[in-house]
Chain A
Amino acid sequence: MILANLYNKVLGFFRQTEKDAEESSKDTACNRLRVVLMQDRTNLTPELMERMRRELVELLSKYVEMDKDALELNLEQDGDQVALMLSIPVIRAKDEEEIKAALDAEDEKEEETSEEESDEASEEDADNEQNLDDEKASDENSEAEETPEDEPEKSDDNKETGK
């Protein structure tokens, strides 16, 4: 009896390590279910999630250089709460000039599009359009404020990685 128990324990140990190597079918089921239930509950299809992922890559690339393909975006459940989990593998921090260049390019693009939009906009929409422009302007301001604060931190990071 004792021997058999001992044997089972040893066997169990080896089985455990074998199973650890590849995901058990139960874990696969749990993970697949979590993903599919999040889609069911939030109405976010895989296409929409992929689009959200692409847009986030675009946005974040301005500030850090990252492994674009490895960026993971998942909906996760913690009790009753649903959380959007974003995991970004950062390859290296961008230096201040790169960030500035990216932001300037962005600003130019925005100005161009807003000019185009206001040209196309009919008189009725003029008021709305103006409000949008105001919002954009305040966004630009806040970005301008943030960049100088960020710069020293980023350059510190660079130094550290340099060592």
Chain B
Amino acid sequence: MSGRVIVITSGKGGVGKTTTNANIGTALARAGKKVVMIDTDLGLRNLDLLLGLENRIVYTIVDVVEERCKLKQALVKDKKNPNLCLLAAAQTRDKSAVTEEQLKDICEKLQKDFDFILVDCPAGIEQGFQNAVAGASEAIVVTTPEMSAVRDADRIIGLLEAKEEIKSYKLLINRVRPNLIKSNDMMSVDDVVEILSADLIGIIPEDTGIITSTNKGEPIVNDEKSLAGKAYNNVARRIIGEDVPFLNLEEPQGVMAKIKKFFSGLTGKEK
């Protein structure tokens, strides 16, 4: 078995790299794939929180590198899904504790036992980014329809294109707000795709459910009703190779939403 190593990166912080990582990883595992996630954000680890695994971490990636434990010992199994594992970052060290070579080595070893190795990249374009990208052959660039995030994504794409090991990269647009796009107050998905001229792998709507799911340490893909969860599930299916159409975020879903829309139309009249 030779698994695919995918780095999830963005340049800018706070656009949802870690959330994307947790959800795509969980969705892939739910689809029956063997998945391991590597948190490379040394000193600022968060992937463990989003997965609700913060209390189960015994060894970290730094312990593996410094040979205090075996690689397999450091892999934390997910609560629900035995197909899913986490290799946590060390919280007390900085980015220099692991080198590009060491990360490459870890990825190569994990490729033998897993279908997917998802590497969660820290924000920025410094050593942390270089480390995270070192072992990967594919990349997902996360951005939002905001100027600063798009600019940083463009920078990251430029850096990825210069890397021979990265064979392909795809764009994931997060925190899309259809209402704002409709009123021309937010760049549309098409605008962002055109500006960055990159292939799209996912459109994720802004969803308050993300906050509650983070609170609980439970990725939103486990919630069948959530639109963002559905969108993340679709991303996972596209990664596997299925041809899944993008969700139509314009039209509200379900009967209740339609009734709500009708009433909001009426109240709008009074204004």
A interface, CB within 8 angstroms of B: 1, 4-5, 7-8, 11, 15, 19, 24-27, 29-30, 32-34, 36-37, 40-41, 77, 79-80
Contacts and interface: CB of A to CB of B under 8 A. Distances in A.
Contacts, number: 50
B95 interface: no
A19 B184 contact: yes
A33 B262 contact: no
Nearest to B148: A33
Given A34-B195, A37-B195, A26 B155 contact: no
B191 A40 contact: no
With most chain A CB atoms within 10 A of its CB, the pick from B181, B183, B184 is: B184
A37 B151 contact: yes
A26 B197 contact: no
Nearest to A16: B184
B150 A1 contact: no
B195 A24 contact: no
A41 B151 CA distance: 11
Given A32-B147, A34-B195, A1 B262 contact: yes
B210 interface: no
Contacts of B191: 26, 30
Contact of A26 (B150, B158, B185, B268): B185
Contact of B188 (A5, A25, A26): A26
Given A4-B262, A33-B195, A41-B158, A24 B184 contact: yes
B147 A29 contact: yes
Contacts of B262: 1, 4
Nearest to B266: A4
B154 A26 contact: no
A1 B259 CA distance: 10
B197 A77 contact: yes
A19 B182 CA distance: 12
B186 interface: yes
Nearest to B184: A24
Interface string B146-160: 010011001100100
